[in-house]
A and B are shown apart, each in its own frame.
Chain A
Amino acid sequence: MSESANPDSPASRACAVKILVVDDQDDLRENLCLFLSLEGYQTYEAGNGLEAFELAQQHEPDLILSDLVMSPWDGRRLIVELSKNDRLAHTPVVLLSAWTDQHNIDECLRLGALGYITKPFKLAQVARAIKQGLERGHHSDSPTRTASECE
């Protein structure tokens, strides 16, 4: 959809870490991207899973921040398709969703999500999750999943 980077941010100094933000709610997606670019990340935006998958193939982001319920392709489908793709299989995915029931969360983590943040969230949570996700993605070829802070 779009890509942006804040050259002054710390992330940009870290040589443009690429984060793909996926959400069908525009304001939320745009504000998140704004926050991330302020933090120095290069961001890409997608409105659904399918679009996100195409963008990911194109740009190979370092981390994907995705909503769960979207169409076509929801967050789960996106994770499954990524895991089938050789180049993208190890891309860490942190989910953001208004669905809070534990079954749902457990299932997503089992599918391969690195974290799950329930809406509404604090930006601090997002920052912490991205940090953890990037460390995991950098230091491990087979990323172990870690439960996000859902409380």
Chain B
Amino acid sequence: MKTHTDLWETESIVAMLDQLGFPKNTSKIFTDPLGRIVWVDDAFVNATGYSLEEARGRKPGGLLHGNGTDRSAIKRMSRAMKSHSPCRERLINYTKSGSAFLADVEIRPVFSSANELIGFAGSSLSAPAPAPTRQPGRQGNPALADGGIAGQAIIIADARGVVRSCNRQAAALFGYEPEGIAGVLDLRALHDPDDLARLSTRPSAGTTAATIDHETYLACVTAAARKQDRVWLMRRSDGRCFPAALEWNLLSGSGPDIEGLAVTVNPRNGVGGTSAGTFNEIVAPLIPGTIFQLRMSPGGHFRIPCCNMRFRDMYGITPESVTDDAHAYFERVSEQDRARIIAEIHDSASSMRPWQSRYRLAESMSGQAPTWHEVKAVPQYAEEGDICWHGFIRDVTTSLAQAESLQRHQQLMLLLSETASSFIHLPLEKVGDVIQEALGKVASFLDVDRAYVFHHDPAAGATSNTYEWCGPEIAPMIDKLQQVPFSLFPEWIRLHDEGQDICYPDVASLPDSPMRDLLLLQDIKSLVTVPMPSPSRGCIGFIGFDSVKRNRNYTPQEIHLLHLFSRMLASIEERRVESENLANARQQIENFFDVAIDLHVVADLNGRFLRVSRAWEDLLGIDTESIHRKKIYEFIHPDDLEETKAAMSELGAGGQVMGFTNRYRGAGGDWRYLEWRSKMISNRVYASARDVTNSRRAQEALASALQSEREAAEVRENLISMASHEFRTPLASISLAAEMLDKIAGEKDARTSRLTKTILDSSDFLAEVVNDVLDYTAISHDQPSDRRMELDVQSWLRQVALAYSARHGTRNPLRLNIGPVPRVSTNPSLLKRALLNILDNAAKYSAAGCPVVLDASLLEEHLQLVVSDVGIGIPAAAIQSLYEPFFRAGNVGTIRGTGLGLSISREAILRLGGTIACASNQPTGSVFTIILPLQA
């Protein structure tokens, strides 16, 4: 029996399908109007694993569709078939063995000439082809690796991310039954949630896989996967995670929207094992350069059948262009190196030793630094007599430049440290030579044309070129650059003061300025200057380097080293200045020690002279050199030794000794008194002595003179006292005798009475003279403070008034005017004597009945006592001499007086710290004013 399908001869079906114009590389089937398979071609058999016999009579959907197949696509297809319309869908199909593959399916209805449906023709483009296209170990082009290797795990999901199907590898990889995944899991559930959370554009602590919506997930994951720059962390059903690379293919429908996704999961090391493909994909891009295979035929023809995509970046030519002929590669090698490396390759071929070399690339732009490549490749014999090198090439331009610059810096460092060490222990006078030499060395090394050092002169506000080194044919400038005012380039000075260097790689490109003009005038193309900082004095100058012949760039490291050099020069200069200062200071001390009048000495605590001034030579009569070896005790008076040693130990205890005096044996053998000021500082005694012998002797003489004077005064005082006694005794006899005579005889005889009265008056006056002389002497030597006491001025003045009345009765009444006066501290008996003398005078030289007035008042913290009378007054000419002892004015007439009263008063007032003054309006009376401090 023949089925209706038998009606169709294979040939006629093939012919018919050809007419439909399906693409040649598709697999094709033909069904009857009910959709049952009538015929399949070999391609279908290959793609699905079903034979024609197995397929015939079955519906394609029943054969090929599975869990991963898009249901909506199936519906659309069946709708189209029912309406006898063509349709086209991309959907997941499954092979007989269960592997999923993506199929681009086109179905067209086939009508008879009578327009009757006779069946459906289908074509399917399978991609990815689940066929084993590559074998591990075979060299493909790693850069073209595009996935789809046999045995890869593939998962199909719909547009919403729901897993529709997966192949066995995928199911095994994730630990699910193939059926268990479809329709159940979201793609997101196959990821490690934490890993997925990192996709979030705004990650936060609470972000989990669930919070990333599907659209975001899709957008991020597909973008990331397309770039292949990420290894994902996937999660198995048992919770274990594994890393994997994901490859995404979007399954587009008829419209612009995607219909679904096919995800290829390539596990990385560990879970799924590695393959050469994975190795190439992952490792190759990580290599800093290209890995390649170079083949040389026995005829010497080179080709590069295999290399990764970095090759294109490094050489600007595609890997394809050298697959059959390496000519283009060799073209890219610089002409200078090309012949050499070809020779090296030949050498490697004949010796079978690795080819290892560096070469430059042909320069694309003139003036640019060349690009250097380094190659390492291992040769091996290959089929057909070829020699095949496997190896890699990398760009070493940067590392070579770094190495070179490092080497230069090391050399410069070495140079600087050599220079620095040459300065140690260098005598100062040779510093200049060494600086000059170092400058030349550094300049030569830097390959500049001129190097120089400037030192500032802050006092002059100028800077001067102190050292200069010039390259060949370069004119020296040093003579022209002396005392250049700071004001010519203030900015320059300011930057240097702040410790900044100034570097102009291209002077010509500087903005217009006097500075630029000045530099251009000297033909300077580039320059660098670095300040010389001194810790104590700020910027003391700068060093600089000019390039005249060509532009010169400086690396930061070079400038850093120049700063070191500059600091080194600054410290040398510092040392030189300090040494000079020290030498000057030493010389100054020498000079002072030479000229000093005083005796300066530095001694140790044992009393040994370490250093003495020249004056010692004159004192001791020994030259200073001889003194230096001796101890001070050798010269000291034996009686002063103990005290001197005590003073030394006081010094040793850290004290200082001032005004100590001892005696030294002088050059002439006499003893000289030395007065010392000395101090101990760090175990050295610094002392200065003065020969006080002469002043001491003068002092002694003065003291003895004073003593004699004092003794003489005492004798004089005693003498006066004695004399006064000797006067009084006979006076007492005379006076008594006269009185008795008057008593006995005077009553009867008026003449006797007159005579005895004369005797009595004269003896009274003599007694008064004696009293006054004695008083005057006593007051001159009295100390008023001895008997000082607080006085109530009012009551005290009344006592004085009583005494006055006792002496003068009522002949000249005393009037007291006492104002408000405070208490006064003074010696009352002295003051009373002074005041009474003046009152006595007032009464004595006034006519009977004329009053004497005493005013007391407070005047600017002083007690003022004024005695006025209306007596005979004092001639103006006499006022000056009024207080001289025994002086009496010319107008006293026959009035008796000793001429001592006012002397006594004045002496007493002076003793009390007061003053006395006299104003006289002769003949209308005298006014005496006494002014006393409230505290004598």
Interface on A for B, CB 8 Å cutoff? Answer: 25, 27-28, 31-32, 34-35, 38, 96, 98-102, 118-123
Contact = CB atoms under 8 A, between A and B. Distances in A.
Contact of A99 (B725, B740, B763, B764): B725
A123 B829 CA distance: 27
B733 interface: yes
For A101, A119, A122, the residue with the greatest tally of chain B CB atoms inside 10 Å of its CB is A119
Contact of B728 (A27, A118, A123): A118
Interface in B804-834: 829
A25 B740 contact: no
Given A119-B728, A119-B731, A28 B736 contact: yes
Contacts of B743: 35, 38, 123
B800 interface: no
A125 B660 CA distance: 65
B729 A98 contact: yes
B720 to A, nearest CB: 11
B721 A25 contact: no
Given A101-B778, A120-B735, A34 B740 contact: yes
Nearest to A149: B806
A34 B763 CA distance: 21
A102 B727 CA distance: 18
B737 A100 contact: no
A100 B735 contact: no
Interface in B828-848: 829
A116 to B, nearest CB: 13
Interface of B: 721, 724-729, 731-737, 739-740, 743, 763-764, 767, 771, 774, 778, 829
Nearest to A28: B733
Nearest to B775: A100
A123 B725 contact: no
A28 B743 CA distance: 15
What DSSP secondary structure best describes chain A's contact surface? mixed
Given A102-B829, A121-B735, 15 more contacts: A25-B729, A31-B733, A31-B737, A32-B736, A35-B739, A98-B725, A98-B727, A99-B725, A101-B721, A118-B728, A119-B728, A120-B731, A120-B763, A123-B739, A123-B743
A96 B737 CA distance: 16
A31 to B, nearest CB: 5
7 contacts: A38-B743, A98-B729, A101-B721, A101-B778, A118-B728, A119-B732, A121-B736
B733 A100 contact: no
B900 to A, nearest CB: 15
Looking at A31, A34, A102, which has the most chain B CB atoms within 10 Å of its CB?
A: A31
Contacts of A118: 728
Contacts of A99: 725
Nearest to B787: A102
Contacts of B732: 28, 96, 98, 119-121
A34 B740 CA distance: 8
Contact of B729 (A31, A34, A101, A119): A119
Contacts of A120: 728, 731-732, 734-736, 763-764, 767
Contacts of B724: 98, 100
A82 B816 CA distance: 47
B331 to A, nearest CB: 140
Contacts of A34: 740
A98 B728 contact: yes
A31 B725 contact: no
A25 B731 CA distance: 12
B773 to A, nearest CB: 11
B737 A122 contact: no
A106 to B, nearest CB: 11
Contacts of B739: 35, 122-123
| Chain A CB within 10 A, most for which of B734, B743, B764 | B743
Given A25-B729, A121-B732, A122-B735, A100 B771 contact: yes
Contacts of A32: 736
B320 to A, nearest CB: 145
Nearest to B734: A120
The 4 closest A-B pairs by CB, nearest first: A119-B732, A98-B728, A120-B735, A120-B732
Nearest to B737: A31
A38 B740 CA distance: 10
Given A118-B728, A120-B763, A120-B767, A27 B733 contact: yes
A54 to B, nearest CB: 25
B737 A27 contact: yes
A74 to B, nearest CB: 14
A123 B742 CA distance: 11
Among A34, A100, A122, residue most surrounded by chain B Cβ atoms (within 10 Å): A100
A132 B733 CA distance: 24
Contacts of B774: 100-101
Contacts of B740: 31, 34-35, 123
Contacts of A96: 732
Contacts of B725: 98-99
Chain A CB within 10 A, most for which of B724, B728, B729, B732: B732
B848 to A, nearest CB: 23
A101 B717 CA distance: 12
A120 B724 CA distance: 11
A122 B732 CA distance: 9
A67 to B, nearest CB: 9
Contacts of B735: 120-122
A151 to B, nearest CB: 8
Nearest to B735: A120
A38 B764 CA distance: 24
B248 to A, nearest CB: 137
A120 B732 CA distance: 4
A76 to B, nearest CB: 16
A25 B734 CA distance: 12
A31 B733 CA distance: 9
Contacts of B733: 25, 27-28, 31
Contacts of A35: 736, 739-740, 743
Contacts of B771: 100
A121 B731 CA distance: 9
A53 to B, nearest CB: 23
Contacts of B728: 98, 100, 118-120
Contacts of B763: 120
Nearest to B740: A31
A37 to B, nearest CB: 11
B736 A123 contact: yes
A47 B739 CA distance: 22
A124 to B, nearest CB: 9
A81 to B, nearest CB: 24
A53 B535 CA distance: 103
B736 to A, nearest CB: 5
Contacts of B767: 120
B15 to A, nearest CB: 177
A118 B733 CA distance: 12
Contacts of B727: 98
A42 to B, nearest CB: 19
B809 to A, nearest CB: 15
The listed residue with most B CB atoms (<10 A of its CB), out of A27, A118, A119, A120, is: A120
B369 to A, nearest CB: 120
A25 B724 CA distance: 17
Contacts of B721: 101
Contacts of B764: 120
A130 B829 CA distance: 27
A28 B733 CA distance: 5
B800 to A, nearest CB: 13
A132 B278 CA distance: 154
Nearest to B829: A102
A121 B732 CA distance: 6
A120 B735 CA distance: 7
A117 to B, nearest CB: 10
Nearest to B728: A98
Nearest to A96: B732
Contacts of B736: 28, 31-32, 35, 120-121, 123
Contacts of A122: 735, 739
